[in-house]
Structure 1
Amino acid sequence: MKTKRVFIVSGGEYVGGRDGIAALRERIVEAAGGLFLSRGFIRVTADEMAAEVGISKATLYRVFRSKEEILRAVVRGLMAEIGGRVDALIRDENLGFVERLARLVAFVGGRISRFGPLFIRDLQKAAPAVWKEVEAFRREKLLANFKTILAAGHKQGLFRGDIDLDLLLEMFLRLVEAFVNPAEVLRSGRPPAETFESVIKVFFQGILTDRGRRDFAARTPALFEPRKEDES
Structure 2
Amino acid sequence: MKNAAENFIKKDTAETILEAAVNRFSVYGYNKTTMAEIAEDAGMSAANIYRYYKSKEEIAAACTKNCMCEKANVLKDIVRNKKLSATEKLEKYVLATLRMSQEAALENKKIDEVCAEITKSNPQLIHDKIASNKALLIEILSYGNQTGEFKVDDIMDTAVAINAMIVVFDVPMFMSLYSPEEFEDKAKSVIRFLLSGLKN
Q: Common fold, TM-score beyond 0.5? A: yes
Q: What is the DSSP-based 3-state SS (H/G/I as helix, E as strand, rest coil) of the residue aligned with 1:95?
A: coil
Q: Structure 1 unaligned runs (5+)?
A: 6-15, 213-232
Q: Which has the higher contact order (CA 8 A, sep 6+)?
A: 2
Task: Name the count of aligned residue pairs.
Answer: 194
AA aligned opposite 1:45 = T
The root-mean-square deviation of aligned C-alpha atoms, in Å, is 3.7
Q: How does 1:54-65 map to 2 (within 5 A)?
A: 54-65=43-54
8 Å CA contact retained: 1:46, 1:67 = yes
Q: How does 1:67-86 map to 2 (within 5 A)?
A: 67-86=56-75
1:150 equivalent to 2:141? Answer yes
AA aligned opposite 2:100 = R
Shift of 1:68: 1.0
**Percent identity of paired positions between Structure 1 and Structure 2:** 22
Structure of greater Rg: 1
Aligned equivalents of 2:165, 2:97: Cα separation in 1? 15
Aligned equivalents of 1:87, 1:193: Cα separation in 2? 24
Q: Structure 2 unaligned runs (5+)?
A: none
Which digits, 9 at most, give the CA deviation of each residue in 1:119-171, with x for residues without a partner?
Answer: 234433466232x1332123211111112213333554555x58864444333
1:31 equivalent to 2:23? Answer no
Aligned equivalents of 1:79, 1:154: Cα separation in 2? 28
Distance 1:192 1:174, change over 3 A: farther
1:95 equivalent to 2:87? Answer no
Q: What is the DSSP-based 3-state SS (H/G/I as helix, E as strand, rest coil) of the residue aligned with 2:128?
A: helix
Shift of 1:106: 4.1
8 Å CA contact retained: 1:117, 1:192 = no
AA aligned opposite 1:143 = K
Which residue of the partner structure matches residue 120 of structure 2? 128
AA aligned opposite 1:147 = I
AA aligned opposite 1:173 = N
Shift of 1:110: 3.1
AA aligned opposite 2:163 = L
- TM-score normalized with structure 2 length: 0.72
Aligned equivalents of 2:27, 2:166: Cα separation in 1? 21
